[in-house]
Amino acid sequence: MELEPKQALLDEGSRYANRRTFAIISHPDAGKTTMTEKLLLFGGAIREAGAVKGRKARRHATSDWMEIEKQRGISVTSTVLQFDYMGCRLNLLDTPGHEDFSEDTYRTLAAADSAVMLIDAAKGVEPQTIKLFEVCRMRGIPIFTFINKLDRHGKDPFELMEEIERVLGIRSCPVTWPIGMGPDFQGIYHRMEGRFERFTSRTEEMTSVQVPDLNDPALAEVLGEALWQKLKDDIELLDVAGDPFDADLVRQGKLTPMYFGSAIANFGVASFLESFIQLAPAPGPRETNAGVVRPDDPVFTGFVFKIQANMNPAHRDRVAFVRICSGKFARGMTVTHVRTGKRLALTQPQQFFGQERETVDEAYAGDIIGIHDPGLFRIGDTLAERGTLEFPPLPSFSPEHFARVSVPNAMKYKQFHKGIAELSEEGAVQVFRQANRTEDLILGAVGQLQFDVFVYRMKHEYGVDVEMIRLPYQFARWLASDEPVEHLQFDRYATLVVRDRDGRTVLLFQTEFAMQWLLDKNPNVRLHKTSFEL
């Protein structure tokens, strides 16, 4: 089925229209690695199963970027994977698959136009799914739900729909519907296409038959009387009492299309992907400080959403990932780094095809390119062919973990500060300073894992052994106050006054109570969760 014109047939101004730039959000173990791999197999970006790095599939790791990933069996860094399917170019922004998730994940979602929420049928909505879902909701992007592991016994599909609505507050509309589950799993019924797909654990044997009428007794023969009756009842209930499909609500992120399947058996994945390509949005307009930028505007613009060092340990390099928002990118073009006004020639831009890195000659809105970072870029920086417009800063979230970091070996002082400066620009950790203390710094992170990665990278990339002492603070709040902080009343035992790297005053609180106390005693003071709200 050809849904969209082929890439080559689109004129340059509209090539963005067949881009789908998305991320998969899920709780660890829901099957994200497995799903990613199946999607890449469809797109021909990889040739064999086991090629994508997963928790257990370490021997076949696609990326060995960081030794720590291997040691802990997790994917710390996000990757960008591109593949073509049905005339569309899909940019899959992979996010770290660990509970100790980091700010990286949040930022990656800022570059996505939609998200796929992967849920384990037996576990339902899990904690990390909730956190990531919240970020998607803040951005108002469409969310597609894939219920995975139907080959095992799981929760009732109606119960899952109810749970998604109750816990996440989003209505759902099943596009496919499961027939049985676990050992009785017979397949899925595609409500929009009136089609039954029979489950076998071997993809090559999968059969798909049109079933224009669910009352067709031939279906009873295949499913057995009991499952046939249940399917008819379920579909009737969904048709009568369920939410009707509404493309506008999907686009606004208020209704999630829902799909069922088994990623490991590669079942239900193709139906999902085809429907996703049809329903997911192409890149849309984006706000800037100088008005809206449209993807078909001819002037190239983009923003840095991620900086990653040491992608290839053989050549210690730093790559800035840029999400293109408008225009055409052509290799060798010169752009302005708007924050500094510097002009840069982008001579070695790279794109990522599954496990390969390739030099890219041209790219369009929705695409992600990796460019060499000579130490110039910060997260959120805008690049533009001309003009001075800037995309809004990427939201940074209040750290929840804090540690004091110092370097015991005074000879390493210079490398220590270089490492800290570079890693904070990369967004690997947030750095705070305390007045009158120059010998140490305070680091903030959204997840504990960020600290482990920090310690590891300081040692391996900068040759510095750091000393970390965990601090008991739980929240960071940026202070908005007409009075200097010294004049405010607060609990000096449970509150620490620090400055962020731009010199803004930040308060670290040990408890919610201490934070509330300060607000009660100083009614004119405002506390913000991010610096951007100031």
- What token pair was written down for 404? 């004091």
Question: Please, which of residues 103-132 interact with ligand G4P by CB under 6 A?
Answer: none
Side chain identity, residue 482: D
What is the distance between the alpha carbons of residues 453 and 449, in angstroms, rounded to a whole number?
Answer: 6
Among residues 95 and 396, whose Cβ is nearest to ligand G4P? 95
Q: How far is the CB of 298 from ligand G4P (least distance, A)?
A: 40
Query: What's the closest the beta carbon of residue 147 comes to ligand G4P, in angstroms?
Result: 10
**Does the protein bind ligand G4P through residue 28 (CB under 6 A)?**
yes
Rounded to a whole number of angstroms, the minimum distance from the CB of residue 102 to ligand G4P is: 16
Contact between 148 and ligand G4P by CB under 6 A: the answer reads yes
Residue 54 makes contact with ligand G4P by CB under 6 A: yes
- Give the range of 5-13, 76-84, 180-188, 257-265 binding ligand G4P by CB under 6 A: 257-265
Q: Quick check: 343 binds ligand G4P (CB under 6 A)?
A: no
> Which H/E stretch holds residue 83?
strand 80-85
How far apart are CB 265 and ligand G4P at their closest, in Å? 6
Site stretch for ligand G4P (CB under 6 A), options 14-22, 260-268, 311-319, 458-466:
260-268
Q: Contact between 31 and ligand G4P (CB under 6 A)?
A: yes
Q: CB-based burial of residue 334 (10 Å sphere; 0-12 exposed, 13-18 middle, 19+ buried)? A: exposed
Does residue 197 bind ligand G4P (CB under 6 A)?
no
User: Of 55 and 339, which has the nearer Cβ to ligand G4P?
Assistant: 55
The two beta strands, 286-288 and 328-330, are unpaired
**Which DSSP state fits 228?**
H
Q: Between residues 267 and 329, which has the closer beta carbon with respect to ligand G4P?
A: 267
Residue 353 region by backbone torsions, left for phi larger than 0, else alpha for psi between -120 and 50, else beta:
beta
Of the pair 148, 301, the CB lying nearest ligand G4P is at: 148
Joined together, the tokens standing for residue 98 give 């660990």
- Cβ 205 to ligand G4P shortest distance, Å: 17
Q: Give the range of 25-33, 164-172, 333-341, 461-469 binding ligand G4P by CB under 6 A.
A: 25-33
Q: How far does Cα 139 stand from its chain's mean position?
A: 12
Query: Residue from 19, 22, 23, 26 that binds ligand G4P (CB under 6 A)?
Result: 26
How many residues in total does the chain contain? 534
Q: With binding defined as CB under 6 A, does residue 34 bind ligand G4P?
A: yes
For residue 224, CA distances in Å to 209, 214, 216, 219, 440 come to: 16, 13, 13, 8, 70
Contact flag: residue 263 with ligand G4P (CB under 6 A) = yes
Among 103, 151, 197, 426, binds ligand G4P (CB under 6 A): 151
Cα 311 to Cα 120: distance, rounded to the nearest angstrom: 31
Count of residues of this chain found to bind ligand G4P when the rule CB under 6 A is applied: 20
DSSP 262: B
- The Cα diameter of the chain in Å comes to 82
- 262/522 with CB nearer ligand G4P: 262
Query: Using the rule CB under 6 A, is 33 a contact of ligand G4P?
Result: yes
Nearer to ligand G4P, 101 or 352 (CB): 101
Q: Is residue 440 a contact residue for ligand G4P (CB under 6 A)?
A: no
Residue 511 neighbours by CB under 8 Å, 6+ apart: 474, 494
Q: Answer yes or no whether residue 20 interacts with ligand G4P by CB under 6 A.
A: no
* Mode of pairing for the β-strands spanning 114-120 and 356-359: unpaired
What burial class does residue 152 get, using C-beta atoms within 10 Å of its C-beta: 0-12 exposed, 13-18 middle, 19+ buried?
middle
- For residue 33 the two structure tokens come to 């690695």
- Residue identified by tokens 């928002």 is 325
CB nearer to ligand G4P: give 152 or 195. Answer: 152
* Residue 29 in contact with ligand G4P, rule: CB under 6 A: yes
Q: If DSSP codes are grouped into helix, strand and coil, which group holds residue 369?
A: strand
Tell me which of 43, 97, 253, 427 binds ligand G4P, using CB under 6 A.
97
- 178 is a contact residue toward ligand G4P (CB under 6 A): no
415 dihedral zone (left: phi>0; alpha: psi -120 to 50; beta): alpha
The contact mask relative to ligand G4P for 216-255 (x = CB under 6 A, - = no) is ----------------------------------------
List 1, 2, 48, 56, residue binding ligand G4P (CB under 6 A): 56
Q: Are 446 and 428 in contact (CB under 8 A)?
A: no
The least distance separating ligand G4P from the CB of residue 130, rounded to whole angstroms, comes to: 15
- Secondary structure (DSSP) of 387-443: S---PPPPP-PPPSEEEEEE-S-GGGHHHHHHHHHHHHHTTSSEEEB-TT--SEEEE
Binding site for ligand G4P (CB under 6 A): 26, 28-34, 54-57, 97, 148-149, 151-152, 262-264
